[in-house]
């Protein structure tokens, strides 16, 4: 039987729409997921279509947006690509990779996306919804919208906002960010642009990121309710916890919570940066300050630098060369610097990158084979298909410990035998997951394909102590709090704050 015929049997879904991008939809869904879990329900997150290079790999090897994975953690369940059936990964120049149910199925331009992908996209969304309900008949979906639901030039082709809301007859919440200003216009304008049958789905309004005394907005709340005939079900205060950012713009706006760090980390901000959630565990270390490096400079002020993942490795390596950052990194290494590259960053630290199938940005340049930074004797060739899988292995350096994470990359990296004079060692029991070398002057250069490497507490502690030792800082013998426990604490704090200020009773029918 089709899902449409069963809608009267399922628990009413809750859908969180926003007056704009960045209004707080992702964190609101995360909070509601944990609140309902604590109330004994079976929440499951869902976002029909997401556009992000911050990805996660599920246990079947399927790609999905990290924000839906985080929401699944809030529900106490394993993430699955069904929770984010369409993922668009931007590659620049209005081109995106299209991923359906975790698998890469093509490349599209923005202009052609809805012409070529709208019908198959809607079908994969319905397929995912049906599968989720068949496997979890007692669940309640907590659905996240995307951007604004009333982009009038796109609304007839919108796959993930009001189309999903109407299909499931969901109870919808409209979230707006008062920090941006113009909150009344945001709410009234959004509602006025909806059709009557769409506006009827909006059962509540949430005012997000309110600073100061909540009682000062009482008159504003009354005005909104009188004007819209929709209750304001929550005024959420400004929260200072270090929540993971949704995209790279949020990432750059993040400020460190810690003012007296021992260690300063510089992370290269590639134009095509991906998987920046890799650094959330470092953001939560009280001894560490993170800064983002966007242009050529003397890197000596940093205790270690990180080259993160990249969606377009060739393109980003050319950016490093053209900007002068490649030379800065080499000079930093020669001055006893500590460097670690993750995925694309690992590939760039090698000697050569070859892109015969034009997968990593070389189509925009004259050469399909370019030089890397040259600090590790490794060469990478990019193939047609990418590798996505969960990883469970054991590290050999800087300590022996169990390692969990995931791979998500194109390309195969092997030793460059022409550079045999550069001694290199394997980091992991699985030999092709990472390498490191020690400079004869001091400092280390390491690279790994494992995303989530810093979530491994013993490994992270030992690597940080390696850096501390190289900088003549005392070794930290006290084990840090498990990052996964910290993440749970952050989600609980988020949910507790929302629970204090949010009335969900009218939705739980």
Residue in the block written with tokens 């400004």 = 238
Q: What is the mean pLDDT of residues 460-480?
A: 90
Among 69-78, 122-131, 320-329, 482-491, the least confident range:
482-491
Other Cβ atoms less than 10 A from the Cβ of 390: the count is 15
Mapped onto helix, strand or coil, the DSSP state of residue 366 is coil
pLDDT at 17: 98
Annotation says 139 is catalytic: no
Among candidate residues 33, 451, 499, 501, the one labeled active-site is 451
Mapped onto helix, strand or coil, the DSSP state of residue 404 is strand
Structural tokens at position 347:
């590939």
* 323: DSSP letter: H
Other Cβ atoms less than 10 A from the Cβ of 442: the count is 11
pLDDT at 192: 97
Answer with the residue of higher pLDDT: 427 or 361.
427
Longest dimension (CA), the chain: 76
Mapped onto helix, strand or coil, the DSSP state of residue 5 is helix
Whether 53 contacts 275, CB under 8 Å: yes
Annotation says 499 is catalytic: no
Q: Is the pLDDT of residue 1 over 50?
A: no
pLDDT at 72: 98
Residue in the block written with tokens 């994969």 = 124
Q: How many CA atoms lie within 13 A of 55 on its CB side?
A: 37
Whether 300 contacts 332, CB under 8 Å: yes
Alpha carbons 345 and 471: distance in angstroms, whole number:
23
Other Cβ atoms less than 10 A from the Cβ of 96: the count is 22
H/E stretch holding 304 reads strand 304-307
Q: What phi-psi label fits residue 275: left (phi over 0), alpha (psi between -120 and 50 degrees) or beta?
A: left
Answer with the residue of higher pLDDT: 214 or 447.
447
Whether 397 contacts 436, CB under 8 Å: yes
Note the pLDDT tens digit of each residue in 369-388. Answer: 899 999 999 999 998 889 99
Q: What is the mean pLDDT of residues 318-327?
A: 97
Among 242-251, 261-270, 380-389, the least confident range:
242-251
- Strands 232-237 and 49-51: what pairing? unpaired
Q: Is the pLDDT of residue 251 over 80?
A: no
pLDDT at 143: 98
For the four alpha carbons of 57, 62, 64 and 70, in that order, the dihedral sign comes to negative
pLDDT at 275: 95
Q: DSSP per residue over 47-102, as a string?
A: -SEEE-S-EEE-TTS-EEEHHHHHHHHHHTS---GGGS-EEEEEEETTEEEEEETT
Cα of 247 vs its chain's centroid, Å: 6
Note the pLDDT tens digit of each residue in 384-409. Answer: 889 999 999 999 999 999 999 999 99
Name, in order, each residue with C-beta under 8 angstroms of 370's C-beta and a sequence gap of 6 or more: 314, 317, 318, 352, 353, 362
Note the pLDDT tens digit of each residue in 163-182. Answer: 999 999 999 999 999 998 89
Q: What is the mean pLDDT of residues 149-154?
A: 90
Selection from 355, 398, 396, 363 nearest residue 379 by Cα = 355
Whether 268 contacts 293, CB under 8 Å: yes
Q: What is the mean pLDDT of residues 220-233?
A: 97
- Confidence class of residue 256 from pLDDT cuts 50, 70 and 90? low
Residue in the block written with tokens 């760039």 = 348
Whether 185 contacts 215, CB under 8 Å: no
Q: How many CA atoms lie within 13 A of 30 on its CB side?
A: 25
pLDDT at 249: 46
Q: What is the mean pLDDT of residues 20-46?
A: 96
| Structural domains in the chain plus CATH codes | 7-243 (3.40.50.300), 255-486 (3.40.50.880)
Angle at which helix 66-75 crosses helix 483-501, to 10 degrees, equals: 80
Q: What is the mean pLDDT of residues 468-472?
A: 92
Selection from 442, 398, 438 nearest residue 422 by Cα = 438
Selection from 124, 28, 36, 125 nearest residue 77 by Cα = 36
pLDDT at 503: 93
Mean pLDDT of the chain: 92
Among candidate residues 100, 139, 343, 409, the one labeled active-site is 343
Answer with the residue of higher pLDDT: 350 or 367.
350
Distances (CA, A) of 283 to 254, 310, 321, 460, 483: 10, 20, 28, 12, 10
- Strands 103-109 and 140-144: what pairing? unpaired
């Amino acid at each position: 039987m089709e899902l449409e015929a069963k809608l009267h049997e399922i628990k009413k879904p809750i859908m969180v729409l926003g007056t704009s991008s960045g209004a707080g939809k992702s964190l609101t869904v995360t909070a509601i997921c944990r609140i309902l879990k604590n109330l004994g329900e079976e929440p499951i997150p869902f976002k029909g279509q997401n556009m992000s290079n911050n990805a996660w790999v599920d246990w079947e090897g399927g790609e999905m947006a990290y924000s839906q994975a985080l929401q699944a953690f809030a529900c106490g369940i394993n993430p699955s690509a069904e929770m984010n059936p369409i993922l668009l990964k931007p590659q620049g120049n209005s081109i995106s990779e299209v991923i359906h149910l975790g698998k890469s199925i093509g490349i599209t331009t923005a202009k052609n996306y809805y012409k070529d992908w709208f019908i198959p996209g809607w079908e994969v969304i319905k397929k995912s919804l049906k599968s989720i309900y068949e496997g979890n008949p007692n669940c309640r979906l907590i659905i996240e919208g995307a951007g604004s639901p009333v982009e009038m030039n796109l609304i007839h082709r919108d796959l993930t906002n009001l189309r999903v809301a109407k299909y499931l007859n969901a109870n919808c919440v409209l979230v707006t960010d008062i920090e941006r200003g113009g909150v009344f216009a945001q709410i009234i304008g959004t509602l006025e642009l909806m059709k009557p049958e769409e506006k009827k789905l909006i059962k509540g309004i949430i005012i997000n990121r309110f600073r100061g005394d909540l009682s000062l907005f009482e008159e504003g709340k009354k005005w909104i309710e009188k004007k819209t005939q929709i209750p304001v079900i929550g005024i959420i205060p400004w929260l200072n916890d270090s929540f993971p950012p949704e995209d790279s713009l949020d990432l750059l706006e993040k400020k460190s919570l810690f003012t007296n760090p021992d260690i300063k980390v510089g992370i290269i901000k590639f134009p095509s940066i991906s998987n920046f959630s890799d650094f959330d565990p470092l953001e939560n270390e009280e001894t560490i300050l993170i800064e983002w490096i966007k242009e050529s400079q003397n890197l000596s002020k940093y205790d270690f630098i990180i080259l993160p993942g990249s969606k377009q490795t060739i393109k980003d390596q050319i950016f490093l060369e053209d900007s002068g950052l490649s030379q800065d990194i080499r000079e930093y290494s020669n001055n006893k610097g500590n460097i670690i590259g993750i995925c694309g960053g690992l590939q760039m630290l090698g000697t050569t990158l070859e892109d015969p199938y034009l997968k990593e940005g070389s189509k925009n340049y004259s050469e399909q084979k370019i030089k890397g930074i040259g600090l590790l004797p490794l060469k990478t060739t990019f193939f047609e298909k990418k590798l996505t899988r969960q990883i469970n292995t054991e590290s050999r350096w800087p300590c022996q410990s169990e390692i969990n994470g995931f791979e998500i990359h194109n390309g195969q990296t092997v030793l460059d035998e022409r550079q045999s004079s550069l001694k290199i060692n394997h980091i992991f029991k699985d030999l092709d997951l990472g390498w490191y070398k020690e400079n004869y002057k001091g400092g280390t250069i390491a690279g790994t394909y494992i995303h989530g490497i810093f979530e491994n507490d013993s490994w992270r502690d030992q690597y940080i102590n390696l850096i501390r030792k190289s900088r003549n800082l005392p070794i930290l013998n006290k084990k840090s709090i498990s990052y996964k426990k910290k993440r749970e604490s952050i989600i609980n704090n988020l949910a507790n704050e929302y629970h204090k200020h949010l009335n969900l009773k009218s939705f739980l029918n």
